[in-house]
């Protein structure tokens, strides 16, 4: 169901692509959110409009395209579209390729930043299941190139285990099994060969990410530099990458090269016999690409930012209700007071 979100955590790149956004997933719980009789959620709409305004004001985000996807249908998107257009100039939204709608209008197209809107609240969230919703959710969850916001007014424990929205919230809660704060990157190495290469780069201060998903494939390791410079490293174990696998491996590499990746490959036997020679080839290539040591990562970086929004408004609403109750109680007390003689 969340294959699209797994693609997002790949942080897909191309030669002309902007610097990636960290984290790629933002989970927003709208504390004062509620679903109206017409299946609108005004507080969710307000958060999205305010966040889009902030993105447009941010010079670092000036080239990012934007989209808003409603999981229920096009009617819910119309309210956000109207709200955003009342606050942001039409020319700027056109430059951002801004679009609002359900998953169908995004079929075959992507945006750099996408807001995924649930609408449901803690009282109104009947389970969504079945092939129709499964397909809709898959399309919706795969429209973001760099960052996906999940905007919701319902908590995980309030959703049925049959509800596809629960799977979505669970993915944001734990996007990959290995994304544990105590998890060491070197533990992701699948062979002694990979551990050796990783350790050589790590000890020199390079930032190395292991087992990186990309366009449905997986890259053994990626060395990251400033300004989003990256080198993909493929380490071919002789027992697993014989002549019968070479054509398939090169076909996969060509697909990823067309997507903007640059590759460096090495066989385990070559590394074992000529380690220093291999390093003398790899390190200058990194330097020529402008990839310098940034400080090594020992642990897997976080993929999700969690936010709560509307808590103050909710507290204000509770205070107002409490005030009304106090006035009503005081009024009742006055009514029962003995008349003056």
Looking up residue 200, the CATH number of its domain turns out to be 3.40.960.10
Residue 205 half-sphere exposure toward CB, CA atoms < 13 A: 5
129 vs 21 pLDDT, higher one: 21
Instruction: Kindly state whether residue 8 falls inside one of the protein's structural domains.
Output: yes
**How far is residue 114's CA from residue 166's CA, in Å, rounded to a whole number?**
19
pLDDT at 324 > cutoff 60: no
210 shares a domain with 125 = no
117 shares a domain with 206 = no
Note the Cα 79 to chain centre separation in Å: 24
DSSP annotation string for 221-256: EEEE-GGG-EEEEEEE-TTTS-HHHHHHHHHHHHHH
The pLDDT of 72-81, averaged and rounded, is 78
pLDDT at 3 > cutoff 60: no
Count of domains observed in the chain: 2
Instruction: Kindly state whether residue 317 falls inside one of the protein's structural domains.
Output: no
Can you give the pLDDT at residue 149? 94
Mean of the per-residue pLDDT values for the chain?
78
Task: Extract the tokens encoding 210.
Answer: 């292991």
pLDDT at 17 > cutoff 60: no
154 shares a domain with 17 = yes
CA torsion angle for 3, 4, 5, 8 (degrees, to 10)?
120
Instruction: Kindly state whether residue 17 falls inside one of the protein's structural domains.
Output: yes
pLDDT at 9 > cutoff 60: no
324 vs 28 pLDDT, higher one: 28
Q: Can you give the pTM of this predicted structure?
A: 0.58
Instruction: Kindly state whether residue 256 falls inside one of the protein's structural domains.
Output: yes
Give the end of a domain, one of 154, 175, 196: 175
Sequence-distant (6+) residues with CB within 8 A of 116 are 69, 71, 140, 141, 148, 149, 150, 151, 168
286 vs 171 pLDDT, higher one: 286
**How far is residue 212's CA from residue 218's CA, in Å, rounded to a whole number?**
5
Give the end of a domain, one of 267, 288, 309: 288
Can you give the pLDDT at residue 214? 73
Question: Cβ(66)–Cβ(97) under 8 Å?
Answer: yes
Can you give the pLDDT at residue 40? 84
The pLDDT of 293-307, averaged and rounded, is 71
List the domain range (segments joined by +) for residue 273. 185-288
217 shares a domain with 192 = yes
The pLDDT of 258-268, averaged and rounded, is 88
Least confident of 67-81, 125-139, 150-164: 125-139
Buried b (16+ CB within 10 A) or exposed e, 288-311: eeebeeeeeeeebeebbeeeebbe
What is the tens place of the pLDDT at every residue in 160-189? Answer: 777 777 878 887 776 554 444 334 677 778
Instruction: Kindly state whether residue 28 falls inside one of the protein's structural domains.
Output: yes
Say which CATH number the domain at 20 has.
3.40.50.300
127 shares a domain with 21 = yes
94 shares a domain with 199 = no
Give the end of a domain, one of 157, 175, 193: 175
221 shares a domain with 130 = no
| Residue 1 exposed, middle or buried by CB count within 10 Å (0-12, 13-18, 19+) | middle
Task: Extract the tokens encoding 204.
Answer: 């020199």
194 shares a domain with 170 = no
162 shares a domain with 90 = yes
What is the tens place of the pLDDT at every residue in 202-258? Answer: 889 898 888 887 766 788 899 988 776 889 999 987 655 556 677 778 888 888 888
155 shares a domain with 118 = yes
Instruction: Kindly state whether residue 11 falls inside one of the protein's structural domains.
Output: yes
162 shares a domain with 26 = yes
Q: Which DSSP category does 186 fall into?
A: G
Residue 21 half-sphere exposure toward CB, CA atoms < 13 A: 21
Can you give the pLDDT at residue 163? 75
Sequence-distant (6+) residues with CB within 8 A of 169 are 27, 150, 152, 156, 159
**How far is residue 298's CA from residue 231's CA, in Å, rounded to a whole number?**
19
pLDDT at 310 > cutoff 50: yes
Instruction: Kindly state whether residue 77 falls inside one of the protein's structural domains.
Output: yes
35 shares a domain with 82 = yes
Instruction: Kindly state whether residue 300 falls inside one of the protein's structural domains.
Output: no
């Amino acid at each position: 169901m969340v294959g699209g979100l797994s693609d997002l955590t790949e942080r897909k790149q191309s030669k002309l692509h902007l610097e990636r956004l960290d984290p790629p997933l933002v989970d927003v719980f709208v504390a004062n959110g509620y679903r109206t009789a017409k299946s609108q959620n005004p507080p969710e709409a307000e958060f999205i409009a305010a966040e889009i305004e902030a993105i447009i004001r941010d010079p670092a985000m000036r080239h990012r395209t934007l989209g808003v996807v409603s999981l229920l249908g096009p009617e819910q998107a119309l309210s956000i579209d109207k709200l955003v257009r009342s606050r942001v100039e039409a020319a700027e939204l056109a430059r951002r390729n801004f679009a609002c709608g359900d998953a169908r209008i995004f079929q075959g197209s992507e945006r750099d930043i996408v807001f995924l809107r649930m609408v449901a609240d803690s009282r109104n969230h009947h389970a969504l299941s079945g092939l129709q919703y499964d397909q809709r959710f898959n399309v919706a969850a795969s429209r973001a190139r760099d960052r996906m916001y999940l905007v919701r007014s319902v908590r995980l424990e309030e959703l049925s285990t049959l509800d596809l929205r629960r799977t979505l919230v669970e993915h944001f809660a734990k996007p990959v099994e290995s994304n544990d704060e105590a998890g060491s990157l070197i533990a992701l190495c699948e062979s002694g060969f990979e551990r050796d290469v990783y350790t050589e780069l790590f000890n020199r201060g390079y930032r190395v990410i292991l087992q990186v998903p990309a366009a449905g494939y997986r890259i053994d390791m990626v060395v990251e530099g400033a300004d989003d410079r990256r080198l993909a490293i493929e380490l071919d174990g002789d027992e697993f990458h014989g002549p019968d696998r070479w054509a398939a491996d090169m076909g996969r590499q060509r697909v990823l090269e067309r997507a903007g990746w640059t590759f460096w490959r090495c066989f385990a036997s070559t590394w074992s016999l000529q380690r220093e020679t291999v390093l003398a080839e790899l390190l200058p290539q990194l330097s020529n690409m402008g990839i310098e040591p940034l400080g090594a990562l020992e642990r897997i970086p976080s993929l999700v930012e969690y936010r709560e929004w509307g808590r103050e408004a909710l507290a204000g609403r509770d205070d107002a209700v409490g005030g009304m109750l106090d006035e009503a109680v005081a009024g009742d007390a006055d009514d029962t007071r003995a008349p003056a003689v």
